[in-house]
A and B are shown apart, each in its own frame.
Chain A
Amino acid sequence: MDYTSSRKKIALSTFALLITVLHFLPFYVLITTALKTKSDFSSKWVFPLEISWANFSEAWEAANLGNALLNTGIITFFAAALLIIIGSLAAYPLARRQTKLNRFMYMFFIAIMVVPPLAALVPLYQLVVNMGLMNTYQVAIFNNVASYLPLTIFLYAGFIRSTIPKSLEEAARIDGAGTLRIFFQIVFPLLKPITASILIIACVYIWNDYQFAIFFLQDESVQTMTVALSRFFGENANNLNLVAAAAIIATLPMAILFLLLQKHFVQGLAAGSVKE
């Protein structure tokens, strides 16, 4: 009995390791490519005999990645902060007050999740041009906030409904606290776990955004990581070593965040899915 179950464990573990290796292959190819000099024509499978770190500094300079990193950071920070404030504020009455109007509003926000942002590309572009927001941080921040608000509200509302006891708010209300004070002093601190998850999900989405950025941030001074990278790829189709180095630089901040906060990444997803 013990013998067969330990054999089964070894077989399944080997299988898991095989899956891991297969999923790692493209990253391996990315790394070997980034570490080779332009004149090294060996296969991408071969780890370079002579490691060249120069690709990273060259890509950093040539693709203006420092500037792109700053732009992406600013947009991600403000959009995520707005999402958290506006989203949690909106979710509270929608989760707590089951009036007809609120039920309708909740359904409305959920339905918006299905709308593909590109379906409204033409008029959105026109709107942005008319408002004079082309090539500004604001346009990227606002568009990202609008498109991830429904998901944020959905996750907050589910969490408030299932885990925040009503009695706390009622006690505060008897003490004469106003709704806003109750929300920020009592409810919001209790939302910490789901706030952490939403923050992480939102940061990843916004950091990686390409659809909005490519339309509205074409000027080099405001371009984000993804736009800088797509331009750099276009210019260096013959020197993929540089592109690979740039891709690693662009990916590193979120990869580090992921490895440090892996638990929250996973919990956020699970919270959104097991509920309801």
Chain B
Amino acid sequence: MAVSTKKIGKTKQNSSLWWMYLPALLFVVFFIVYPFLNGIRISFTNWNGFSQTFDYIGFRQYIRMFTDPDTWTVVRNTLIYGIGSTIFQNILGLAYALLLNQSIHFKALTRTIVYLPVIISPLIMGYIWYFFFSYQGGALNDVLIALGLERINVLGNIDINIWIIVFVNTFQFVGIAMIIYLAGLQSVSRDFYEAAEIDGASSFQKFKNITFPLLMPSITINMVINIIGGLKLFDVIISLTGGGPGNSSQSMSTFMYDLYFAREDAGYAATQGVLMMIIILILSLSALIYFRRKEVEA
């Protein structure tokens, strides 16, 4: 019996069964890898997006990108969307998870309502908050007027609008962080806490020395998910501000969209795409490596 298993196993197991992932590989290569590599090629051209002819112009688009003041506005916004949302989603998500991990009433209700926005299109979420923040007849300004204050134009103010977008993105996806932290908290064994209680540890000490280190895997996954999501932000910006006023709330995604479709500047849009890829790669990989290193073996 043992001999025959080994024999059959050997002839079959020599193959890596690569044909089983061939369809997946084809999809990914054709719709993601090939366009991306082709994008690098286009970033060295002056293509306008529709004409049959274009010229290779070397690094001109890259020089243009690094000297374009819009690039820095857009990169700064993208970093604020990515890092800002990550920080708020994690702090709030962890706080909610710690609360819901206690024995309290309304647990299921709170979890449902906090998670609900996750399943709504970010575009529609943007519209919903637009009813809240719009200058004319917005719910927020109604409150300010009732309190005898001046109306404020939060979406039109270039110092505030990006933070409103961070807020809406945080509101929408804090439910994911909360659920992941809750799952992490529930996987921490009670024994650790009982041992700590015998040693007379305070609640804060228990959190710092037991909960937090054992939550590191959840922190890693949340940080990486949120950073990638925040840096790619597109839909909610379109519905809240359209990237404006001017380019003040544009992210790299919306900026590229604008360059390609509105300004017919495809070569330059592709160059911005390469920069976006590099920034996302560096940030998400360093977040992954940094937090992985901090994880403890539980």
Could you tell me which A residues sit within 8 Å of B by CB distance? 9, 12-13, 15-17, 19-20, 23-27, 29-30, 33, 41, 43-45, 86-87, 89-90, 92-94, 96-97, 99, 101-102, 105, 109, 112-127, 142-143, 145-147, 149-150, 153, 170, 173-174, 179, 183, 204, 207-208, 210-211, 225-226, 229-230, 233, 240, 243-244, 247, 250-251, 254-255, 257-259, 262, 265-266, 269-270, 272-274, 276
- Of the candidates A30, A97, A142, A146, which one forms a contact with B13 in the assembled complex, judged by CB atoms under 8 Å apart? A97
B195 within 8 A of A: no
Chain A residues contacting B284 (CB-CB under 8 Å) are: 114
Considering the chains assembled together, what is the distance between the CA atoms of A174 and B30 in angstroms?
38
Q: Chain B: interface residue count, which band?
A: 35 or more
A90 close to B24 (CB less than 8 A): yes
In the assembled complex, the CB of B143 is this many whole angstroms from the nearest CB of chain A, namely: 8
Identity of the chain B residue whose Cβ is nearest the Cβ of A269 in the assembled complex: B179
- CA separation between A272 and B277, bound complex, in Å? 24
- Assess whether B154 is interfacial by the CB under 8 Å rule: no
Query: Is B24 within 8 A of A229, CB to CB?
Result: no
**Complex contact A116–B24 (CB within 8 A):** no
Q: Which chain B residues have a beta carbon within 8 Å of chain A's beta carbons?
A: 4-5, 8-9, 12-13, 16-18, 20-21, 23-25, 27-28, 30-36, 38-39, 41-42, 49, 96, 99-100, 102-107, 109-124, 127-129, 131-132, 134, 137-139, 142-143, 146, 171, 176, 179-180, 182-184, 187, 217-218, 221-222, 228, 231-232, 234-235, 238-239, 252-253, 256-257, 260, 266, 269-270, 273-274, 276-277, 280-281, 284-285
B32 with A115: CB separation less than 8 A: yes
Partner of A174, one of B5, B119, B171, B234: B5
Contact B25 A146 (CB under 8 A): no
A45 with B113: in contact, given A114-B228, A146-B27 (CB under 8 Å)? Answer: no
Chain B residue with minimal CB distance to A250?
B124
Most buried by B among A174, A229, A243, A247: A247
Is B21 touching A16 in the complex (CB atoms < 8 A)? no
Question: Can you spell out 27 A-B residue pairs with CB atoms less than 8 angstroms apart?
Answer: A9-B104, A12-B102, A19-B96, A23-B116, A29-B139, A41-B137, A44-B139, A44-B142, A86-B24, A115-B280, A116-B277, A118-B232, A118-B234, A119-B39, A123-B38, A142-B31, A146-B28, A146-B30, A170-B9, A173-B8, A204-B118, A229-B127, A251-B120, A254-B119, A265-B119, A269-B179, A269-B180
Residues of A within 8 A of B36 (CB): 115, 119-120, 123
Other than A116-B232, A274-B187, give 4 A-B pairs with Cβ distance below 8 A.
A20-B110, A118-B252, A125-B260, A170-B9
Closest residue on chain B to residue A24 by CB atoms: B113
The interface residues of chain A lying within 8 Å CB-to-CB of B103 are 9
Q: Within the assembled complex, what's the spacing in Å between the Cα atoms of A118 and B105? A: 43
- Summed over the interface, the residue pairs from A and B with CB atoms below 8 Å come to a total of 292
Q: Which residues of B contact A272 (CB under 8 A)?
A: 221
* Docked pose: A113 CA to B117 CA in angstroms: 23
Chain B residues contacting A89 (CB-CB under 8 Å) are 20-21, 23-24
Q: Which residues of B lie under 8 Å from residue A114 when comparing CB positions? A: 228, 280-281, 284-285
Bound form: Cα–Cα A266–B182 in Å = 10
With a CB–CB cut-off of 8 A, which chain A residues contact B176? 269
Q: Is the CB of A118 within 8 A of B131?
A: no
Decide: B106 and A112 in contact? CB cutoff 8 A. Answer: no
Does the CB pair A97–B277 fall under 8 Å? no
B111 neighbours in A (Cβ, 8 Å): 266
Partner of B114, one of A19, A45, A259: A19
What is the bound-complex CA distance between A176 and B106, given in angstroms? 55
**A105-B24 Cα distance, complex, nearest whole Å:** 11
Question: Do A225 and B121 have beta carbons less than 8 Å apart?
Answer: yes
Most chain A CB neighbours (cut-off 10 Å) among B119, B131, B217, B270 = B119
Q: Which of B123, B143, B180, B276 contacts A118 (CB 8 A)?
A: B276
Contacts known (A94-B21, A119-B36); A229 close to B106, Cβ less than 8 A: no
